[in-house]
């Protein structure tokens, strides 16, 4: 399958990023054609050498800080890029883009978003 993964950052600096890297590695090892759409300046392609990377432009990228302008510019640019690729399925982490078959809601479970420590 041709699978697209969309998330702003592709590196190991946080749990969401790590999950995306591990998913890309897992799918690639199983002979899927994996396409990663992320911001070039926060992407470490060496983490998943079997994947194809598509740099997505985003305005006002600040490491460790996000802004509405960055989110919107990335989401709209990623949607345009993903739409141009003949992919079988697209997995995106919200709020990365709306152009996806699978939308992963981080922090939301069957009981809703986690608001504090579980006991």
Residue 45 included in any domain: yes
More confident position, 111 or 68: 68
Residue 114 included in any domain: no
pLDDT tens digits for range 17-70: 899 999 999 999 999 999 999 998 889 999 999 999 999 988 766 666 667 777
Residue 116 included in any domain: no
The pLDDT of residue 102 is 86
Q: Is 10 helix (H, G, I), strand (E, B) or coil?
A: strand
The pLDDT of residue 56 is 94
Total number of domains constituting the chain: 1
38 forms beta bridges with 55
CA angle 39, 45, 50 (to 5 degrees): 125
Q: What percent of the chain has pLDDT over 90?
A: 50
Write the CATH number for 81.
3.40.50.2000
**Whether the predicted pLDDT of 13 surpasses 70:** yes
Domain that holds residue 105: 2-109
Residue 41 included in any domain: yes
Residue 119 included in any domain: no
What is the pTM assigned to this prediction? 0.82
Residue 101 included in any domain: yes
Residue 93 included in any domain: yes
Residue 115 included in any domain: no
């Amino acid at each position: 399958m041709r699978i697209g993964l969309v998330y702003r950052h592709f590196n190991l600096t946080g749990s969401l990023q790590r999950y995306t890297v591990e998913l890309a590695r897992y799918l690639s090892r199983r002979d899927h054609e994996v396409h990663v759409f992320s911001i070039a300046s926060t992407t470490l392609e060496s983490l998943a050498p079997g994947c194809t990377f598509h740099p997505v432009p985003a305005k006002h990228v600040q490491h460790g800080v996000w802004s509405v302008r960055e989110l919107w510019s990335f989401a709209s640019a990623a949607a345009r890029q993903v739409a141009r690729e003949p992919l079988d399925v697209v997995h995106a982490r919200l709020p990365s883009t709306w152009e996806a078959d699978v939308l992963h809601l981080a922090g939301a479970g069957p009981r809703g978003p986690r608001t504090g420590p579980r006991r």
